Each structure stands twice: as C-alpha cells, then as structure tokens.
Amino acid sequence: MSVLEALPVDYLFRMELDLGEKQVMPRGPQGTRVYAQVAGGRVEGPRLKGTVAPG
C-alpha cells in the first residue's frame, strides 16, 4: 500500500449563515447541545455562488 504524502486540497467556497432562535438541549448523554434553524445565507467561491434557503 502506498503512503499519501500530501492531500491535494483546493479552496471551494465561503459560507455565511443567518441563524434563527437557538434551542438548548441541556444534560444529554453527550452534554449540552445547542440547535439553531438556518434562516438564510450565502455561498461564494471561485466557481460557485448562491444563496442559502431558509430551513
């Protein structure tokens, strides 16, 4: 089996999300979790541009 010396990576995009109200789920088996619904946002990169739909 060959060894991968360097993982080739490229910049794809930047994502900015607008979040709705946060919901805290305390004292779960893995600790406290915080959830938030996505209210919208945008994605922008060298080959990709768009908006994020709510939901």
Q: What pLDDT, on the 0 to 100 scale, is given for residue 52?
A: 97
Here the tokens at position 38 are 């996505």
pTM over cut 0.75: no
pLDDT tens digits, residue range 1-55?
Answer: 678 788 889 999 999 999 999 999 998 898 999 999 999 999 999 999 999 999 8
Tell me the β-bridge partners of 43. Answer: 15, 50
30-38 contact pairs (CB < 8 A, 24+): none
CA-only gyration radius of the chain, Å:
18
Q: How many residues does the chain have?
A: 55
Tell me the β-bridge partners of 15. Answer: 43
Do 37 and 55 form a contact (C-beta atoms < 8 A)? Answer: yes
The Cα–Cα gap between 31 and 35 comes to: 13
